[in-house]
């Protein structure tokens, strides 16, 4: 499987990486995002304060990727870029 890419300001966290590696299609969708798009998803996931929120965001990231979305829905954007 291809190496999964990180974002503009954030590296890909292990738990999100593991979920993206579940299928080659997911990995390709992820790597097909722009660097800023990947960064937005990573920041959105890592900004969760509770583990259950983070797990829900990872699940939703996978769903949104498979629906063709390029950025997380309803997220004002990463403050780190």
Taking only the tens of pLDDT, the chain with its 81 residues reads: 679 999 999 999 999 999 999 999 999 999 999 999 999 999 999 999 999 999 999 999 999 999 999 999 887 888 876
Q: Give the C-alpha distances (Å, rounded to integers) separating 39 from 13, 32, 44.
A: 11, 13, 8
Burial class (CB in 10 A: 0-12, 13-18, 19+), 46: middle
pLDDT at res. 44: 96
pLDDT at res. 15: 98
pTM above 0.85, yes or no: yes
Domain ranges of the chain: 14-66
């Amino acid at each position: 499987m291809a190496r999964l890419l990180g974002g503009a300001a954030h590296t890909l966290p292990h738990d999100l990486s593991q979920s993206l590696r579940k299928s080659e299609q997911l990995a390709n969708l992820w790597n097909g995002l722009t660097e800023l798009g990947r960064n937005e998803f990573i920041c959105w996931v890592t900004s969760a304060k509770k583990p259950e929120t983070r797990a829900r965001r990872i699940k939703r990231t996978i769903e949104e990727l498979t629906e063709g979305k390029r950025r997380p829905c309803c997220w004002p954007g990463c403050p780190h870029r």
